[in-house]
Amino acid sequence: MKIIVCGAGRIGKNLVSYLSHGNNDIIVIDTDARRIDEISKEWDVMTIVGNAAHPEILESAGASDADMILAVTNDDEVNMVACQVADYLFNVRKKIARIDSSEYLNPVWCTLYNEQHIPIDLIISPDAEVAEAIYNIIKIPGTTSVMPFADRNLYLLAIRCPDNCPLLQIPLMNIEQAAPELHIAPVCIVRNNKSFIPSQEFALEAGDEIFFMVEEKDIDDAIHAFGMDRPENEKVLIFGGNQIALLLAQKLEADDNISSCRIIDEDLESSRYLAMKLNSTTVINGEMLSDTILDDSGIDNVDVTVSITLKDKDNLLASLIAKKNGARTTISLVNSKAYNSLVSNLSDSIIIDNSSVTVSGILKELRKSKITKAYSLGRGFGEVWELKIDEDSLIADKKIVELELPENSKICAISREEGIVYPNIYERLKVGDTVILFCSSRAIKKVEKIFA
C-alpha cells in the first residue's frame, strides 16, 4: 500500500513507526527539515520538505497513485486542505485527517466532511483517543489496558499478575474450577516482553500480563479472582498541561465518582488556558518535580497520577516519584519504543504506548477486512479486530476450524442477540455475529485474506 503521511511530528512519527513494519510504501511530508531528517535516519521511507496542502508537493510525493493520505500535521486547516487537494486533483481513494479543534469536531458541523464539501473518510483525534484510553484505565482499577467491544458489553482487559495472585501455577483449563466466579476468555499472555497465545495447559506466573475477554457484568468478579481488588480511584493528579490533560480533566469533571483532579503545568500560558477552560480542576503552575509544588498538589494523598508531558523521561520520572510518595497507581505516556522493555519491571506502574493508541484509530482503514473496530496491543504483540458477519460474507455458516486460521491467531468471542459466546473451534459462525479476533503481527496478512 502506498501511503502519504503529512506531518513528521509526534503523531506522524508514531504512524510511520507502525506502518514501516508492514509492506507499505511510505512518503512523509513536513515543512520542518529537521523533523524530516530525523525520520529519514530512523526509517526507510521517502521524505519531502514542503507544505502538504500544496498541489505541487503532493504531486512530487506521487499522490496520483497513492492508496491513502494521512494528514496529521499540527494544523487542522492544513490537514483538511491536504485531503481536499488529494481528492480533487489526485483522486486518492482513502483520506484520513487529524482534527484536534473542538470547534471542528462539534457534531453540529458533521455534514462538513463528505464528498461534496471536505472529502475526509475518517477523522482522528489522537489526543482525545489517548485521554479516553487513560480514563478507561482509571475507571477499572487493577487493569493495565482497557479496550471496549460490542457496544461496551464486552471488554478486552489486561492485568499484570502480582506475586500474591491466587491463580498462579493453575493450568488455564482448571482456572474456572479454582475460581468459579471467573468467566473469561484468555486472549494472549505477555511474559519477558514476548506475547503468545497460551495453551490450555499453560499456567500463569507472577509478572505475567494476561489479556482476556470479559463481559461488562463480570469485570468486578474477574478483578477479584486475580487478586487485583483496588478501591475506586477518586483523586487524580496530572503531570503536564497539554490538550490530553484538558480532555482527560473534562472527562473526570463530568464523573461524579471523581472527588478531585489537579494538574501541574510548567508553562504559564497553558496553565492560564486550562484554568479558564476547566471548572472544578485545580491548575498549579510551577516546576513539575519541585518538592514545594508536589506538596501543594497533595501528591501524598492521591489515588492515581497521570504523566502526559511530551518528554518520556519526565513522565517516567514523575511516576517513580509519585509511587515513592504513596500514589497507588501511576500512568505514564511514552512515545519511544526504547521504553517498551521497562514495562515488566515497573510493578503497578502503567505505560501507555502513544503510537499504539494513535494507530488503533486508523487500523480499520488500513486492513482489507471489513473491520468495525480495531486496537493495536502495542509493543508489536498484535491486533484485536471486531468484525460483523453479513450475508455476503464467505465465512458465514462455517465452523471456526474450517477457516484454517494461522496458529498465532484466534477468535476470542462472538456477540449475538442471545448473548456473548466464548467459542471453541467447532462453533459455527452465523450471519449477524459480531466476531472478536486476535491476530499476532506475523499473522495479519493471512487473517486478512480469510476475512477479506
Report the distance separating Cα 110 and Cα 369, nearest Å.
Answer: 26
Domain boundary among 225, 248, 276: 225
| 249 and 210 together in one domain | no
| 51 and 152 together in one domain | no
Q: Please indicate, yes or no, if residue 262 is contained in any of the structural domains.
A: yes
pLDDT attached to residue 338: 64
The CATH number covering residue 378 comes to 3.30.70.1450
pLDDT attached to residue 340: 58
Q: Please indicate, yes or no, if residue 131 is contained in any of the structural domains.
A: no
Q: Please indicate, yes or no, if residue 52 is contained in any of the structural domains.
A: yes
| 114 and 160 together in one domain | no
What is the separation of C-alpha 272 from the centre of its chain, rounded to a whole number of angstroms? 29
| 91 and 166 together in one domain | no
Q: Please indicate, yes or no, if residue 129 is contained in any of the structural domains.
A: no
pTM here is 0.91
432: domain range? 362-451
| 371 and 345 together in one domain | no
Q: Please indicate, yes or no, if residue 130 is contained in any of the structural domains.
A: no
**Cell 474450517 maps to which residue?**
402
Q: Please indicate, yes or no, if residue 134 is contained in any of the structural domains.
A: no
| 352 and 244 together in one domain | yes
| 10 and 69 together in one domain | yes
| 12 and 119 together in one domain | yes
Closest CA to 384 of 450, 340, 444: 444
Domain boundary among 124, 153, 180: 124
Tens digit of pLDDT at every position of the chain (452 positions): 999 999 999 899 989 988 887 788 999 999 999 999 999 999 999 999 999 999 999 999 999 999 999 999 999 999 999 999 999 999 999 999 999 887 887 777 777 777 777 899 999 999 999 999 999 999 999 999 999 999 999 999 999 999 999 999 999 999 989 999 999 999 999 998 889 999 999 999 999 999 999 999 999 999 999 999 989 999 999 999 999 999 999 999 999 999 999 999 999 999 999 999 999 999 999 999 899 999 999 999 999 999 999 899 999 999 999 999 989 999 999 987 666 555 555 556 799 988 889 899 898 888 877 899 999 987 778 999 999 999 888 899 999 999 999 989 999 999 999 999 999 999 999 999 999 999 998 888 899 888 88
pLDDT attached to residue 373: 93
β-partners of residue 421 are 414
What is the separation of C-alpha 97 from the centre of its chain, rounded to a whole number of angstroms? 17
Count of the separate structural domains present in the chain: 4
pLDDT attached to residue 441: 87
Please, what is the angle between helix 268-277 and helix 243-253, to 10°?
A: 30
pLDDT attached to residue 451: 87
Convert the chain into a string of H (helix), E (strand) and C (coil). CEEEEECCCHHHHHHHHHHCCCCCEEEEEECCHHHHHHHHHHCCCEEEECCCCCHHHHHHCCHHHCCEEEECCCCHHHHHHHHHHHHHHHCCCEEEEECCCHHHHCHHHHHHCCCCCCCCCEEECHHHHHHHHHHHHHHCCCCCEEEEEHHHCEEEEEEECCCCCCCCCCEHHHHHHHCCCCCEEEEEEEECCEEECCCCCCECCCCCEEEEEEEHHHHHHHHHHCCCCCCCCCEEEEECCCHHHHHHHHHHHCCCCCCEEEEEECCHHHHHHHHHHCCCCEEEECCCCCHHHHHHHCHHHCCEEEECCCCHHHHHHHHHHHHHCCCCEEEEEECCHHHHHHHHHCCCCEEEEHHHHHHHCCHHHHCCCCEEEEEECCCCCCEEEEEECCCCCCCCCCEHHHHCCCCCEEEEEEEECCEEECCCCCCECCCCCEEEEEECHHHHHHHHHHHC
Q: Please indicate, yes or no, if residue 243 is contained in any of the structural domains.
A: yes
pLDDT attached to residue 61: 97
| 367 and 347 together in one domain | no
| 171 and 106 together in one domain | no
| 152 and 81 together in one domain | no
Q: 31 vs 37, 291, 358, CA distance in Å?
A: 11, 40, 22
| 253 and 344 together in one domain | yes
Asked if residue 253 lies in contact with residue 280, where contact means CB atoms within 8 angstroms, the answer is yes
The CATH number covering residue 271 comes to 3.40.50.720
Apex 294 CA angle, 292 and 295, nearest 5: 65
Query: Quick one: CA dihedral 282, 284, 289, 292, positive or negative?
Result: negative
β-partners of residue 195 are 190
Q: Please indicate, yes or no, if residue 12 is contained in any of the structural domains.
A: yes
Asked if residue 216 lies in contact with residue 152, where contact means CB atoms within 8 angstroms, the answer is yes
Domain boundary among 177, 192, 225: 225
